[in-house]
Amino acid sequence: MKRAVLVLMLLCVSAAAHAASLTGRQAYVTTPSATCGGYPKLPIETLKGVCAGLVVGPTSRVFSQRTLRLPRNLLFLPNGEILVVDLGAWVAGKGSVWRLVARPGQAPQLIRLLSGLDFPHTLAIGPDGRLYLSEMSRIVRFDPAATVPGDTVETVVTGLPDNRLHDDRHPLSSFIFDVDGALLVDVGAKSDQCPPDPNNPGAPCAEIQGEHPSAAVWRFAYLGAGRWAQTPTTFSHGLRNSLALTRHPSGTILQGENSIDVDDPDFPTDAINALKASADYGWPYCVQAASPAPAWSGHNPLDCAGPKRTPPVLLLPPHGAPLSMLYYQGAMFPELAGRLLVSLHGYRATGSRIVAYDVDSAGIPTSAKGARYAVYGRGGKPPSERRFRAGPAAHGLILTPGWDTVAGQRPAGAPVGLAVAPDGALWVAEDRNGAIVRFARNDAAR
């Protein structure tokens, strides 16, 4: 009983600290005369010829007074409408889906379509042309054009783990549709490193055992006519957190791996994996290209350099936290055509940025010798670069080289969902700052 009370007190303290940090968070500073495509121009350092415009931003630093609390993802519908997924809070039942009406030079309008959702995250158009949404333990579809969209919600897939924040490290679900219409769904690891049992250190991690392991991508076969099998198979496993999923026109499926949390700022790297059926990507035993995870050193049941472990195709900056990826196909930025865009959400000096990577004809990121990654300076120091220690890596083209905290100007960027508008502009959902940002050509600024 005493232990339960203590746990509850700790959770309350954690929630209060999170709310306090949001309340005191620095806001963006804009100048009325400076615009980017008709939107207030943000003091974010970007590639030459690119600017950032604030489409939606909190009018108050008080978290409870935000309209969009924690926007995570965006979707442009074929009719031009914009939908926004708002996590709401790190508490079940607080999520929403909004319709965003945004026009340059005008105040944005937000119309709530759904509310009371449990940790919503991904929106996508299915093979039947209907709209699908992931919650913590299920995937649903609904009609955003209905008079009461909430009345059209129907469950498509259920039985996903009913994760709970603080009990499980990764409560969110993400998904994509494969070329055959199958649903590929992220099931994050329950823990960070699944450390070995001290009483039986040679025993394998229990989280990845069984017919339906966590730290995996599950596959629900498409049955046609908007129906999916209700019993999944394991598509790929050994994946700690697969919120970032995308599919190339060739059929290649990429996953952005958020690696384990340790104090070392340079270890381990995050990664991009090319997912294949039945492949094992190493969690919790392996990190980076072929390194054993520290918790399993000395009694690792998997050879991290051996044939049973599929290595990543590209290393990402350590602790960068990739949360969204897409292949850019738009008219506004021809220099980005076909490249893989990745949002790095991490709060450390390697996060808070969007990076573009070159890919081959199959959509696999290409690497280069001597690749480096950028690190924001601290205490007013300029940014620096560090070399990747080993493995396939690339510097990448950083679209936002200056999105760290600058007192009196901007907070650190917190990019999650990426979406390309019909005109080719890149739209970004920023959860910690409660903002929707549009990146466009400078010559489009007026």
For residues 429 and 62, the model is more confident at 429
- Which one, of 54, 166, 183, lies nearest residue 124 by Cα? 183
Sign, Cα dihedral of 43, 46, 51, 54: negative
H or E segment at 8?
A: helix 2-23
Considering the domain boundaries, does residue 19 fall inside one? no
d(CA 111, CA 100) in angstroms, rounded, equals 7
- Which one, of 328, 330, 179, 358, lies nearest residue 252 by Cα? 179
Considering the domain boundaries, does residue 203 fall inside one? yes
Considering the domain boundaries, does residue 9 fall inside one? no
d(CA 93, CA 337) in angstroms, rounded, equals 39
- Residue 369's domain comprises 40-444
Q: Are 232 and 212 in contact (CB under 8 A)?
A: yes
Considering the domain boundaries, does residue 10 fall inside one? no
Averaged pLDDT score across all residues of the chain: 91
Considering the domain boundaries, does residue 395 fall inside one? yes
Please check the confidence at residue 9 and state whether its pLDDT lies above 90. Answer: no
Please check the confidence at residue 22 and state whether its pLDDT lies above 60. Answer: no
Please check the confidence at residue 14 and state whether its pLDDT lies above 50. Answer: no
At residue 298, φ and ψ (nearest 5 deg) are 95, -25
Give the model's confidence band at 13: pLDDT under 50 very low, under 70 low, under 90 confident, else very high. very low
Q: What is the reported pTM?
A: 0.93
HSE-CB at 21 with a 13 A cutoff on CA atoms is: 8
HSE-CB at 383 with a 13 A cutoff on CA atoms is: 21
pLDDT tens digit string along 352-398?
999 999 999 999 999 999 999 999 998 778 899 999 989 999 999 99
pLDDT tens digit string along 206-261?
999 999 999 999 999 999 999 999 999 999 999 999 999 999 999 999 999 999 99
Considering the domain boundaries, does residue 97 fall inside one? yes
pLDDT tens digit string along 398-414?
999 999 999 999 999 99
d(CA 405, CA 80) in angstroms, rounded, equals 33
Considering the domain boundaries, does residue 54 fall inside one? yes
Q: Are 298 and 284 in contact (CB under 8 A)?
A: no
d(CA 173, CA 258) in angstroms, rounded, equals 14
Instruction: Give the pLDDT confidence score for residue 80 in this predicted structure.
Output: 87
Count of structural domains within the chain: 1
Considering the domain boundaries, does residue 250 fall inside one? yes
Domain containing 235 — which CATH number? Answer: 2.120.10.30
pLDDT tens digit string along 100-121?
999 999 999 999 999 999 999 9
Instruction: Give the pLDDT confidence score for residue 229 in this predicted structure.
Output: 97
Give the model's confidence band at 10: pLDDT under 50 very low, under 70 low, under 90 confident, else very high. very low
